[in-house]
Each structure stands twice: as structure tokens, then as C-alpha cells.
Amino acid sequence: MMRCYLVVLAALGAGCSVGPDYRAPEPVETGWAGSDDAANEAAAYDPQWWRSFGDPVLDRLVTRAAADNLELAAAAARVRQARAQRRAARSTLFPSIGGEASYTNYQLSKNGPGITGDAVEQGLTERDDSFYTAGFDAAYEIDIFGGNRRRRESAAAGEQLALERRRGVMLTVVAEVAREYMELRGAQKRLAITEKNAALQRDLTALVERKYRAGLSRELDVVRARSQTRVVEALVPALRSQIRGSAYRLGVLTGQPPEALLEELLTSNPIPGAPEIVPVGLRSELLRRRPDVRAAERALAQASAEIGVATAEMFPKFVLAGDVAWESVDRGDWFDEDSQRWSLVPFVDWRIFEGGRLRAQVEFAEAISEEQAALYEQTVLAALADAEAALVSYGEERRTRRTLDEASAASERAAELARRLYDIGLSDFLDVLDAERRLVEVQDRQVQSETQVAVRLVGLYKALGGGWQSFE
């Protein structure tokens, strides 16, 4: 008989699944709208892009952050939550089985009514006795309309969604570490140049003061020289503050107290140089690689499955329940055939009328699916725009850097000539001050541009969606 029920279960369980069958949208195969002479579309994207800067300190910081960042730890916990929910949803594949055993020792009231005939037939002829029972019960919902299958699909998509969001956090953390590191090294270089210029200004001020004492210069020139020195020196505290701020943020990004990396990072190092050629790969590949696009697709898949879950609630549920137990007042008779009882109860649960609530739930799920479809398309467009903008921004900053390199060399030469001419009395001190101001400004902008080249390259790598693959 049991074999017959199993056959029926198999046949019924192979029923259809209500709701739409999900198909992932295909990404658009298109080339890059903008390009740069440093971008190589033919070369495969490097998932360990931070190593292209050739800085061992940066490599160590990225590794620490990937292992110890607390946002990543929280994201990993969310993945485990989603995985547990998937396992819980998967449990509907199997019957629910429970066991029960009990021992009852009782005493009838001596002042109560006498022993009934039923009690005599059951052997309960004493005022006090014991009663033993043990058994199993089971229930299984036959998933004819596929509601449970859709629920498992939804939970599986939810797990993958949590995983993609964790990958997105990993991508952001790695990029933030690299960006903050570039900012720190850039501030250190700006500080070094500023302190050098301040020393030059102090030397120039001393020269003007000697000439003034010798009657070869005006007091006004002395005042102007001292003012320019103070202007340059005033830049130093802000740069020192920026350096420490970056070091503190890197400490937090690596899951440590803010001050943990001060000793390691306060020693100046050059700004990591950008590689000559950046492997960007095909534009269509970034859509398959970016965690935000992948997460949006999984959210769409989950929403599609939830339509089936809601639709299945409109149909009847078929449940097969039963139990097997042994009952006896004597332990020796516990497993006798006469002590056995069992039942097998198939039943149907169908909510026929609920005032339109079930239909409204289906419409709600359909609307959520439409929302997620629109959000997916928006995410794809935003990802393409982000990558294109990052590519253009990186290329333009490289051109700015080359222009500022030329301007810095010219300004340095002009300042040197102005000092010489003033020293021999062939130039006014205002020419010197003007040349010095231009030099300080251009050199500072030059370093800022050098920093921005590295920062925007980090932004490009982030926009291309890589970095998380190395820590799977």
C-alpha cells in the first residue's frame, strides 16, 4: 500500500509550476563609445588590478582589508543568512517527520466514580497505573502547482543576491583602499614640495633682508618676501592633517583602530605610477562582471519567482499526513501487534474566498517584478555610463598631467631667471614674487594632477567591475 502512495506522490509532485519561468536578460553587445590611447580593449581585464601599480604597501593594505574589513564581515553574515533561508526553503522537498514518546503514571481518585466497563476492557482496573506511548507522525505537501518550487527558486536567487552584494562591497572596499592610499601619497608629495618651496622662500627673504640692510633694496620688498613665505608655510598644516586623515581611514578600512597604520604610512613614498596600458576588455564583459548588475539580475529573478509563490496560494494544497504509534499500559506489550495504531489522512486545503486578497498579492508580486526589471535596465545603463565616464576622465586627466609637467618645468625656469636678474639688480622684486607664486601654484597643481591620474585609474578599475574575483 505504501508503494502505491509513493507512486501517487511522484506523479503529483511532477506537476506544473504556476507563475512565469524566468529567463535572464541578455546583455547588449556593443563597443566602447569613448576610448583612450592607454586603454587596450583587446587585452583581458586584470582582476588583481591594484598590483599593476607595483606598490607592495598597497598590495598589503588590500589583502588586509579583504580579510578584516568590518563591512565585508557584515556582508558575509548576510550571505550566511540568505544561505540558511535557502536551506529552509529546500526543506519543503521532504516530508515533515516528528517523533513522540511519553510515560504517564497516574492515580485515579479513590473518592471518584468506580471503574467503568471501558476501563475494564482496556486493562485499567487499578486505581493507579502507568501508561506508555511512542510513535511517529509525518506530513508532506504535494507540490502540484509548484508553489514550493517557486519558493525555493526565490530563496536561491536571494542567496545569490546577497553574494553579489557582498562582491559589490568587496569591490568598493578594495577601490576605497587604493583611492585613499593614492590620496595619502599625493598629500605627502605635496607636503614635500611645499616645505621645499617654503625653505626657498625663507632663503629669498634672507637675501632681500641683506640687500635692504646694504641699502640695495626697499623695505616694501622685505615685507612682500616675508608675506609670500608665510603664505607658503600656511599650506603645511592642512597637508599634514590630510595625510593623517588618510592614514586613519585606511586603518578603519583594514578593520583596525584608526591609528594602527600611522607608523607604517607616515614614511613618505612616491605616488604609485599608473601603467602605460590599461587592459579594459570588451564593454559587454563589464556587465557580466559588475556586482551591481549581477545583483540587479538576481533581484529580478527573485521577484519573478515570488509571482509563482503568490499565484500558488490561489490553488488548493494537497497534503498527505499520517502517524504510527504504539500504546500500552505494560512495557512488555509495548511493541506487540495489538499495541500498534496508525492513520493515513490525505486532505485538501483551499482558501476559496478571501475578499480578493490573494489576487491582490499576485498583482503586488507582478508589480515588484516590473519594478525590478526597470531597475535592472537602469543599473545596466548606469554601469555603462559609469565605465565610459571613468575611461574619459582618466584619459583627460593624463593629458592634463602632461600639460602641467611642461608648465612646471617652464615655471621653475622662470623663477630661477627672476631670482638671478633680481640678484644682479636687473629685475624688480615684484617679478620674483610673481614667478615664485606661479611656481608654487603650478607645482602643487602638478602633484594634484599626478594624484588624480592614479585616483581616476582606480575609479576606472572600479567602474570596470573587477577586484572581487581574487577573494572568492
Strand pairing report for 317-328 and 278-279: unpaired
- d(Cα 415, Cα 134) in Å, to the nearest integer? 99
The predicted-structure confidence for 240-275, as pLDDT tens digits, reads as follows 999 999 999 999 999 999 999 999 999 989 999 887
- Extract the runs of DSSP E, i.e. beta strands, from 249-392: 278-279, 317-328, 340-349
The total number of residues shown for the chain amounts to: 472
- d(Cα 388, Cα 32) in Å, to the nearest integer? 7
Q: Supply φ then ψ for residue 45, to 5 degrees.
A: -65, 135
- d(Cα 216, Cα 179) in Å, to the nearest integer? 51
Q: How many CB atoms lie within 10 A of CB 414?
A: 17
- d(Cα 174, Cα 230) in Å, to the nearest integer? 39
Residuewise pLDDT in 10s, the chain (472 residues): 333 343 334 444 445 677 788 888 876 666 666 665 656 665 677 889 999 899 999 999 999 999 999 999 999 898 898 888 888 777 766 677 766 766 666 665 555 555 554 544 555 545 455 666 766 666 666 767 777 788 888 888 899 999 999 999 999 999 999 999 999 999 999 999 999 888 888 888 888 888 788 887 788 888 888 888 898 889 999 999 999 999 999 999 999 999 999 999 999 899 998 877 777 777 778 888 899 999 999 999 999 988 888 887 787 877 777 677 767 766 666 666 666 776 776 767 677 766 678 888 888 998 999 999 999 999 999 998 898 888 888 888 989 999 999 998 998 898 888 888 877 877 777 787 778 888 888 888 999 999 999 999 999 999 988 888 888 7
Looking at residue 126, the DSSP 8-state letter turns out to be: S
The predicted-structure confidence for 40-68, as pLDDT tens digits, reads as follows 665 677 889 999 899 999 999 999 999 99
14 and 302 Cβ atoms separated by less than 8 Å: no
User: Which 3 state secondary structure label does DSSP give 89?
Assistant: helix
Looking at the domain 17-97+145-316+357-471, which fold is it?
Outer membrane efflux proteins (OEP) (1.20.1600)
Residue 79 CB partners (closer than 8 Å, separation 6+): 159, 162, 163, 166
